[in-house]
Amino acid sequence: MNMKKVLFIFTIIVPVFILTLLLLYCNNAKEKQPENEIINYQKIYYAKDAGLKDVMVYHIDQFLFGRNNYVGNFSKDESAVTFLVDVPYANNYDIVISTAATYGRSHKINYVLVNGQQIGEIKTLENNVFAESDIKYIYLEKGINEITIKKSWGWIYVDYLYIRQSKNLHIYANNVSARLINPNADDSAKRLMKYIVDIYGKQTLSGQSGGGVNSNEFKAVFSVTGKYPAIMMLDMMDYSPTRVIFGTRGTAVEEAIEWHNMGGIVKFLWHWNAPKDLINNEENRWWSGFYTRATTFDLAKAMNKEDMEGYNLLLHDIDVIAEQLKRLHVMDIPVLWRPLHEASGGWFWWGASGAEPYNKLWILMYERLTFHHGLNNLIWIWNGEDKGWFLGEEYIELVGGDFYAPARNYHSQSAKFFEVVEYLLELGTMKPIGLTECGPVPDINAMVRDNAMWFMFAVWNSDFVLKRNNGEYTSEYSEEYTEISHLKMMYNDKRVITLNDLPDLKKYPLDVIYGK
């Protein structure tokens, strides 16, 4: 190479190359939000200035709300208000909306969409006043985003919306321990818990509800992905004594044993038929006895021992289920145990009497299974769905949230995730958080982007994965809720753990720092 070329390279090409790198760095720096720079960022948008569809502006306060220029009343199916929101950085934001029920009506629930995708719901108060409600930790792109309030129930007024940057709660979410609450926990349970904590925040366990590996649900998932999920979600329902007397025969334990022998993780819930007082009429048959509407059983009276028969039947039912769990215990099979789920919703009898009797029942079940029956293979998942129902970290090892997004909505459900993170922080604890039931499968890329890394997701059964033929479920996969392309993408992503990806949990290392 001659001297002229060398001089050209060092005097022209190298400086241009360095300058280009500097420009690229500066541009990227502009896109990236400096740490804590705008933590107090917020901006307000008024509904009267938004895009309005099938709603009207009330320039005069004719309903005595104490303000004017609000919009409503969302009486048509297409009624909507769309705000164009401009944010300086791509980040997680809280969406705060001021709404009221139309005059003289009770509370109303309506949809909120971001850039065309439903991300949550807002609920008005019942006393005909404007009040703010929020949906937190929603990812917005840098620049303009469309935020739409769309009719579900309808019959609301909207005054304004404002955006504020979310707190950086994700830095606390992964500060969890592998310690189990049972001092006599089996090594198999310790190993599974240690594995969950080790992957938490980095990977998520795939899960599916079904009646065993030969169920239509598992056949359908395997037929389109060539893989099985890591977790099988099973139900103790048909072992409930008030179902057995009508002829049910549970097979879930056999299905759990088969799944464990294949290397999978076993997860159980219990749709517990009330121990007595089933209504059992045409509207509420015996097999729906886990619903509040299908029984007159009063948990509060049973737990206060005003109804001693009811209290003793609760113990009897727990003992019956304990015998089934013992079959797994003697085979050294750890169980993710999620009893008394969705309690705060009130639609199941164990939540119908409020938080106090529910908490008493949880403690009764924990102590009965752990200390009376010696079941040391259980990892306890609390799924009460409301911080007011949280009974203390000494009774809980994992926390679950159930959320059924609209069909083909693959949002990370970050609002739900960080709702749990926030109240656990308030309560002075932190636990791994899982999406313990869902419809559509959330997108792993969105979960990573939003820092909402559930330790697991578990898709419900029947219509959420199966097609019907003449009213009967088949083993053919249905794309109604989750498209095949999306499910395949998830099952092939290394951040999503399937059965093939699980280590040998019987040999998973328990190092010297276990439990700290």
CA diameter of the chain: 101
In this structure, what DSSP letter does residue 478 have? P
Residues 157/41, Cβ–Cβ less than 8 Å: no
- To 5 degrees, how large is the angle CA 93–CA 94–CA 95? 115
Residue 26 has pLDDT above 70, yes or no: no
Helix and strand totals (H; E) in the chain: 13, 22
- What is the rounded end-to-end Cα distance, in angstroms, of the chain? 63
- d(CA 427, CA 485) in angstroms, rounded, equals 40
List residues bridging with 140 in a β-sheet. Answer: 91
Per the model's pLDDT, the better-predicted residue between 5 and 258 turns out to be 258
Residue 41: predicted pLDDT: 77
- d(CA 506, CA 333) in angstroms, rounded, equals 9
Query: How far lies 273's CA from each of 246, 269, 290, 508, in Å?
Result: 12, 12, 4, 37
Residue 40: predicted pLDDT: 62
**Residue 462 backbone dihedrals phi, psi, to 5 degrees:** 50, -120
Of 77, 70, 80, the closest CA to residue 101 belongs to 70
The reported pTM is: 0.88
- d(CA 294, CA 450) in angstroms, rounded, equals 40
pLDDT digits (tens, 9 = 90+) for 280-339: 999 999 999 999 999 999 999 999 999 999 999 999 999 999 999 999 999 999 999 999
User: Helix or strand or coil: residue 444?
Assistant: helix
Residue 22 has pLDDT above 50, yes or no: no
**Residue 452 backbone dihedrals phi, psi, to 5 degrees:** -110, 70
What average pLDDT does this structure show over 471-491? 97
The most confident of 97-101, 134-138, 222-226, by mean pLDDT: 222-226
Residues 506/331, Cβ–Cβ less than 8 Å: no
CATH 2.60.120.260 assigned to domain 42-165? The reply is: yes
- d(CA 272, CA 356) in angstroms, rounded, equals 19
Residue 100: predicted pLDDT: 92
- d(CA 171, CA 175) in angstroms, rounded, equals 8
Q: Where in the chain are the domains? A: 42-165, 170-501
- State the amino acid at position 259 in one-letter form: W
What average pLDDT does this structure show over 147-176? 93
- State the amino acid at position 109 in one-letter form: I
Residue 42: predicted pLDDT: 85
Residue 29: predicted pLDDT: 38
- d(CA 187, CA 295) in angstroms, rounded, equals 40
What average pLDDT does this structure show over 56-77? 88
Residues 264/230, Cβ–Cβ less than 8 Å: yes
- d(CA 15, CA 280) in angstroms, rounded, equals 84
Residues 296/277, Cβ–Cβ less than 8 Å: yes
Among candidate residues 217, 342, 393, 397, the one labeled active-site is 342
**Residue 474 backbone dihedrals phi, psi, to 5 degrees:** -110, 180
Supply the mean pLDDT for the chain.
91
Angle between helices 484-491 and 216-225 (to 10 degrees): 80
pLDDT digits (tens, 9 = 90+) for 199-234: 999 999 999 999 999 999 999 999 999 999 999 999
Residue 126: predicted pLDDT: 74
Question: Active site includes 437?
Answer: yes
The band of 67, judged by pLDDT with boundaries at 50, 70 and 90, is confident
Per the model's pLDDT, the better-predicted residue between 387 and 232 turns out to be 232
List, in order, residues 6 or more apart from 447 with CB less than 8 Å away.
204, 412, 414, 453, 454
Q: Which of these ranges, 177-186, 345-354, 503-512, has the smallest mean pLDDT?
A: 503-512
| Tokens, residue 69 | 């220029």
Residue 13: predicted pLDDT: 52
Query: How far lies 137's CA from each of 157, 169, 205, 442, 468, in Å?
Result: 24, 9, 22, 16, 37
Please name the residue ranges forming H helices in 250-385: 252-261, 299-303, 308-329, 355-367
Residue 132 has pLDDT above 60, yes or no: yes
- d(CA 145, CA 107) in angstroms, rounded, equals 28
List, in order, residues 6 or more apart from 26 with CB less than 8 Å away.
none
Per the model's pLDDT, the better-predicted residue between 7 and 287 turns out to be 287
Query: How far lies 32's CA from each of 37, 130, 137, 144, in Å?
Result: 11, 36, 18, 17
What average pLDDT does this structure show over 427-447? 96
Residue 512: predicted pLDDT: 47
Residues 236/270, Cβ–Cβ less than 8 Å: yes
Q: How many residues does the chain have?
A: 516
In this structure, what DSSP letter does residue 213 have? T
| Tokens, residue 320 | 């019956």
What average pLDDT does this structure show over 484-498? 98
Residue 129: predicted pLDDT: 85
List, in order, residues 6 or more apart from 453 with CB less than 8 Å away.
173, 200, 201, 202, 203, 204, 447
Among candidate residues 217, 393, 422, 437, the one labeled active-site is 437
User: Helix or strand or coil: residue 122?
Assistant: strand
Question: Active site includes 31?
Answer: no
In this structure, what DSSP letter does residue 498 have? B
The band of 39, judged by pLDDT with boundaries at 50, 70 and 90, is low
Please name the residue ranges forming H helices in 155-215: 170-173, 187-199
pLDDT digits (tens, 9 = 90+) for 164-193: 999 889 899 999 999 999 999 999 999 999
Residue 48 has pLDDT above 90, yes or no: yes
Query: What is the fold of 170-501?
Result: TIM Barrel (3.20.20)
Q: Which of these ranges, 89-103, 125-139, 153-167, 249-263, has the smallest mean pLDDT?
A: 125-139
Residue 71 has pLDDT above 70, yes or no: yes
Cis bond before residue 73 (omega within 30° of 0): yes
| Tokens, residue 55 | 């709603």
